[in-house]
Structure 1
């Protein structure tokens, strides 16, 4: 089971890393803003192909080595877990290293070619576009917390019958492999952490919904479609993640409250089902968003006057990955490499939304152990 989980993870990470330069929006190449008309520039195409080729080679090599290693010798669970974590990390670091290499190459190319010379940069706004936004309503994200509160109440009522040793960690096969002495914090830890995560999702969806819809004046139609698609499907994906995490935590908590409630086969297969749902959701998100206003869209579509483009915001992006713009009221903005959202690090509210829940969970974990 552990082999299957990590094999699927390696394959997914490999495919995602290979494809990522091709499904980001056309006006951003390795974190650098370019005009629409330069999207098919031969040097840019060459950079992307080199990235994909090298990443593919490393990914195939790691996948083959993982299969050969797992089949060649006997390994214990710890060795498989460590190897299954390290190998995807190597693929990610390979992609990140290539990203930075081509990021600086693109910066140099853009400066040498002076692509924005003679191009008017404008900020495009469409006040009617909000009415077409299909992000899920934030109150919907509060619904899963009802389950968490019910788990807290149920656990409190059944506290006396809990075992003397409470599980604190589960291995990839769904079986507990670490325990702590019985206490109120140990018994209620999982549902409390679940509530914190659920309300973090509430905050992320709310402030993402309030964020600006950035339209590129160089290609208004495709830019609108991408923004609406990004907002809609990331909202749905976030909700699926919230539901899946709720089901997983509820499964573990109920198994603690009612010994032998679930058969061993369910305990074995649950992690694989959870991971499959999440990866499938991520794949659907990549397809739905990545096929719009990107290389996957097919023929490049140019509208109107090529002498008009959206704002070049490279100065607000550190390395093309970290966004710091005090002038932008948005808490979350579209990533420049990958799919989804990243935080505007110039807005303190974002730290509270993302780091606050993480800090609380760490504190609770310390008290449990």
Structure 2
């Protein structure tokens, strides 16, 4: 295993470990490891102990994955080595989060934390009548990159060789180059992916900017203002992700068209990896700064409202798989703010989501069957 590849893998392990370390404090102070708790229980000793234990487990998971990467790198094919290293890290992190989730949930049930609490919800109708505007201008750099790469591709296409090197496999005995016949599809694949992913992200942005806000019923006005600030941070985060993926795919397209992928060294690899690492760091810094739904932000505008004794309803029964998957057939919302992360997730109890999942499954099966029949 070459030094740059191993170094990049260790950097990725460190980044994932740092992100998972931060996840508990990004969620609202009334959500701990996917479990809803009353505000007066946010610093309960059971939660503090679960957080400390979880972070020890996360640090150990990162160290275990790093040792696995270093110890097995020289002896295994690149693909298997990468899958094993990622699998070790993912499994260890899942166990750490699952154990913390169960600890907090048992403490909540055992202590009957919601006994005597008055539950309620808050709605800000101005988010519908006067929605936060989407800063569409921030998409211009991504669109410019797509246009420039497409023009370069059209000009370069007639002079491309009969075969293109589209991937490199790292093996213990050397490098293996994957080549394909030069066609419009193979040559312009990166541009097509750029356009498709950009369109998808723009759609996700438009939908999430109008998705249901999760407001604090104890401070509805203040949390509404915080939500608007959160939407602005969320939108710029998505535009940053969009720009990074377009830069990466533009670099990949140039490497393929010029034949430089065969001779790509550490500098070329860095041009592909650095935008992803940089944007990932910026997005998670923004997430840490704002918190999920903007709960860590100042409300701004000088608006104040007197706190009440109302708490959000205990809706844990709708959150499955450690509080990561939302299933509620009675909720008309397609998107809800996720637990254990930054942004939104889908309501798997909604009919349109189920139809979408079924359609994706049919398309995936049809694609596999077609590929096997052609092969």
TM-score normalised by structure 2 residue count: 0.78
Q: Summarize the alignment of residues 263-278 of structure 1 with structure 2, pairs less than 5 Å apart.
A: 266-278=267-279
Deviates more, 1:135-144 or 1:339-348: 135-144
Q: Which residue number in structure 1 is paired with residue 204 of structure 2?
A: 204
Over aligned residues, Cα RMSD in angstroms? 3.9
C-alpha distance 232-340 of structure 1, shift in aligned 2 (>3 A): same
- How far off is 1:340 after superposition? 2.5
| Shift in Å, 1:259 | 5.0
Answer yes or no: is 1:75 the counterpart of 2:74: yes
CA-CA distance at 1:355 after TM superposition: 8.0
Point out which structure has higher relative CO (alpha carbons under 8 A, 6+ apart). 1
Q: Is the contact made by 2:142 and 2:242 (CA closer than 8 Å) also made in structure 1?
A: yes
Equivalences for residues 35-184 of structure 1 within 5 A: 35-64=38-67, 66-67=69-70, 69=71, 75=74, 78-79=77-78, 82-128=80-126, 136-138=134-136, 140-141=138-139, 144-145=142-143, 147-148=145-146, 151-152=149-150, 154-156=152-154, 158-170=156-168, 177-184=177-184
Alignment-derived partner of residue 299 in structure 2: none
Matches within 5 A, 1:1-369: 1-64=4-67, 66-67=69-70, 69=71, 75=74, 78-79=77-78, 82-128=80-126, 136-138=134-136, 140-141=138-139, 144-145=142-143, 147-148=145-146, 151-152=149-150, 154-156=152-154, 158-170=156-168, 177-220=177-220, 223-224=223-224, 227-258=227-258, 266-290=267-291, 293=295, 304-306=307-309, 308-319=310-321, 320-347=323-350, 352=356
Deviations along 1:334-361, one digit per CA (max 9) or x if unpaired, are 221122322222345557599869969x
Aligned pair in 2 of structure 1 residues 188, 353: CA closer, same or farther (>3 Å)? farther
Q: 1:48 to 1:229 in 2, by over 3 A?
A: farther
Give 1:329 deviation, angstroms.
3.9
Task: Tell me the distance in 2 between the aligned counterparts of 1:58 and 1:116.
Answer: 34
Higher mean displacement: 177-186 or 2-11: 177-186
Moved more, 270-279 or 129-138: 129-138
Task: Tell me if structure 2 keeps the 8 A contact 1:142–1:198.
Answer: no
Gaps of 5+ in 1: 295-301
Deviation, 1:60, is: 3.0
- Alpha-carbon distance in 2 for matches of 1:12, 1:23: 16
- Name the CA distance, whole Å, in 1 between partners of 2:356 and 2:143: 20
Equivalent residues of 2:139, 2:239 under 8 A apart:
yes
Q: Deviations over 1:304-326 (max 9, x none)?
A: 233x1122222221231111234
CA displacement at 1:363 relative to structure 2: 5.5
Matched position secondary structure for 1:177: strand
Once the two structures are overlaid, the 10-residue window that deviates more, 345-354 or 8-17, is 345-354
Distance in 2, Cα, partners of 1:225 & 1:78: 52
- Deviation, 1:249, is 1.6
Q: Distance in 1 between matches of 2:6 and 2:129?
A: 47
Number of residue pairs aligned between Structure 1 and Structure 2 = 353
1:255-311 CA-to-partner distances (Å, cap 9, x unmatched) read 4344569986642321232233233223323322239647xxxxxxx96233x1122
Q: Measured at CA, do residues 144 and 58 of structure 1 come closer, stay the same or move farther in structure 2, by a change above 3 Å?
A: closer
Tell me the secondary structure at the aligned position of residue 40 of structure 1. Answer: coil
Q: Distance in 1 between matches of 2:248 and 2:11?
A: 19
